[in-house]
A = this chain, B = another copy of it.
Amino acid sequence: MTNIRNENDDISAEAVGQFGLSDDTIHEIEDALQNDYEEGITNIIADLSIADSAELLGKLSEENRQRLLKEYGAAFDPGVFSELNPELRKDTLENMPPRQVARIIMDLDSDDALDMILNLSPDFQNDIIHKLSAKTRLTLEEGLNFPEDSAGRLMQREFVAIPQFWTAGKTMDYLRAATDELPAEFFDIFVITPTYHVAGEIPLSRLVRANRSDKLETLTLGDIHPIPAGTDQEEVAQIFRRENLTSAPVVDEEERLIGVITVDDVVDVIHEEAQEDILKLAGVDHGDLYHAVLSTTGFRFRWLFINLLTAILASLVISLFGATIEELVALAVLMPIVASMGGNAGTQALTIAVRALATKELSTVNALRVVGKETLVGTLNGAAFAAIMGVIAALWFDNTILGLVLGTAMIINLIMAGLCGAGIPILLHRMGSDPAVSSTVLLTTVTDVVGFFAFLGLAALFLI
């Protein structure tokens, strides 16, 4: 758990209803850096919360950020670096002396420390590891036993586990006495068997209301959701959201309690998981805002290159009908409409399917029904736009058959858009691929090729 309480903060009337760092503060820092106004900078930094400091570092230009960290880096709380975007964090830390980074890492909770060090380049990791305390090194090594993005990496290893046969009073006495071994903040205590299996949990709000003589077994709630340490964090987030959990025990292969995940650790995962599809659909990377120009360009190039192949394929279809277009240039004018309407309608179906697959609202049992519905929606909207564009085209080029051809092509393409928009993600998902990554390209290929082929093909048949 990242604990960012700051006991010195006071509550002022202005603070109510405002949050986040104002652009004014950022400008103040920029001005102070410009004028080497040391005291001003120190004062501003001292007033910032951890979240504010992280926002400040994210929004400064690279030059100002590096200067600020070089000259005032020690003024920032170690927790600030945990809150940075991973891309920005890597950049920032690798520009700092290894000794300072080691100090930051030793100051963090085990989960945050591990996350921070793994994000660094292997060379820099080596520089740092030698400067860590033996205890921190050991904790990090334990964390490495679990796969990346797993519950084992997300959990904290400090938790409260109490034997079944204790009373509420004895438990409270223990909590009071063992303060140093316990996590700073916790919401539930876990009741364990002699073999360290989780028998249940007791929310603190239940424990404080118990009488000292109450046996723990009378207080224990048995409805727990033990999470195997290897579970992917995406699944952890879904379990928390689905079951409205505030904390969950993490267990090893023998189902023994080894850690606990609390909901505040999962909040960021929930956020990332919910937004990652939008980034994948567009072929961009989450860190793009902080990547250097060249690495962003390179990453995007790959995605655009695949799209270029799709576009070339569409051009090949058009080139089949070169002679037809030469005879009736109106076809060249109208053909992008068919393809673009298909693309847009298909994207609508695709977005719904991709999200519903991610949230597990869509599975084998209702897949056919969803595809059927999307195809029907495509058919209805296809008919509507066929009528609209058919009339417009017939009037524009004074050619009724051209209007009919365009209308027919639009119906065909919007039916395909609905069918494939929903069908492609479902098929990819069933084949074990991530539907958000490749659905768009496949869909665009279909709507472009079908759109151009239907429109130009029908034109070649009926118009020339």
Contacts and interface: CB of A to CB of B under 8 A. Distances in A.
A239 B362 CA distance: 31
Interface in A318-346: 318-319, 322-323, 325-326, 329-337, 339-341, 344-345
Contact of A284 (B207, B224, B352): B352
Interface string A207-234: 1111100000000011111111001000
Interface in A144-182: 172, 175-176, 179, 182
Contact of A208 (B58, B207, B242): B207
Nearest to A79: B244
Interface in A326-382: 326, 329-337, 339-341, 344-345, 347-348, 350-352, 355-356, 360-366, 369-370, 373, 376-377, 380-381
A17 interface: yes
A204 B222 contact: no
Contact of A355 (B9, B278, B373): B278
Given A27-B365, A172-B208, 20 more contacts: A3-B244, A4-B243, A5-B221, A10-B222, A11-B198, A16-B226, A16-B255, A19-B239, A58-B361, A175-B208, A187-B205, A245-B264, A263-B264, A278-B351, A289-B362, A308-B388, A311-B341, A312-B337, A326-B326, A336-B336
Interface in A1-35: 1-11, 13, 16-17, 19-20, 23, 26-27
Interface in A45-79: 49, 51, 55, 58-59, 61
30 contacts: A11-B198, A11-B222, A16-B251, A17-B231, A19-B235, A19-B238, A20-B238, A23-B363, A26-B365, A55-B360, A175-B208, A175-B209, A176-B208, A182-B209, A207-B208, A241-B268, A263-B264, A275-B355, A282-B347, A293-B380, A297-B380, A304-B345, A308-B337, A311-B336, A314-B337, A315-B334, A315-B337, A322-B330, A325-B325, A332-B332
A427 interface: no
A336 B352 contact: no
A381 B385 CA distance: 35
A270 interface: yes
A289 to B, nearest CB: 5
Interface residues of A, number: 152
A361 B187 contact: no
A111 interface: no
A123 to B, nearest CB: 27
Nearest to A238: B19
B242 A279 contact: no
A395 interface: no
A445 B251 CA distance: 54
A381 B300 contact: yes
Contacts of A288: 352
Given A312-B392, A336-B314, A267 B270 contact: yes
Contact of A322 (B3, B277, B333, B336): B333
A92 interface: no
Contact of A370 (B226, B267, B289, B308): B289
Interface string A384-403: 11001100100000000000
Contact of A336 (B266, B301, B318): B318
Interface string A169-201: 000100110010011111100000000001000
A51 B241 CA distance: 10
A282 B278 CA distance: 10
A107 to B, nearest CB: 16
Contacts of A2: 244
A59 B363 contact: yes
Given A243-B49, A282-B347, A228 B17 contact: yes
A453 interface: no
